[in-house]
């Protein structure tokens, strides 16, 4: 399942079905019309994507790797 991420009550970025991403989780995100596989990290303030720290996770289209 891929969908738009939104911050949940625990402060993690979640898919609408309740699955969420936390530090060290693998993730695929739709960035500039391409699926990019990376990892989620936390900087003591918020979560971010490794290699794409300047792209906010809120509202990003994402999925777990290898999931259609």
Residue-wise pLDDT tens digits, 5-62: 999 999 999 999 999 999 999 999 999 999 999 999 999 999 999 999 999 999 999 9
What tokens does 13 get?
A: 């970025």
In a domain, 10, yes or no: yes
How far is the first Cα of the chain from the last one, in angstroms, to the nearest whole number? 6
CATH label of the domain that carries residue 36 = 2.40.10.390
HSE-up of residue 24 (Cα within 13 Å, Cβ side): 0
In a domain, 68, yes or no: no
Q: From residue 57, how far is each of 4, 27, 50 by CA, in Å? A: 9, 11, 11
Q: What is the value of pTM for the model shown?
A: 0.90
pLDDT score for 67: 67
What is the DSSP pairing of strand 26-31 with strand 6-7?
Answer: unpaired
With 90 as the cut, is the pLDDT of residue 1 above it? no
In a domain, 27, yes or no: yes
pLDDT score for 66: 77
Instruction: Please state the domain count of the chain.
Output: 1
Range of the domain at 37: 3-63
**Cα separation, 52 vs 1, whole angstroms:** 22
């Amino acid at each position: 399942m891929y969908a738009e991420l939104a911050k949940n009550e625990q402060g993690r970025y979640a898919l609408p079905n309740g699955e969420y991403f936390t530090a060290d989780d693998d993730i695929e995100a739709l960035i500039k019309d391409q699926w990019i596989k990376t990892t989620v990290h936390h900087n003591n303030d918020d979560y971010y994507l490794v290699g794409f720290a300047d792209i906010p996770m809120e509202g990003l289209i994402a999925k777990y790797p290898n999931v259609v």
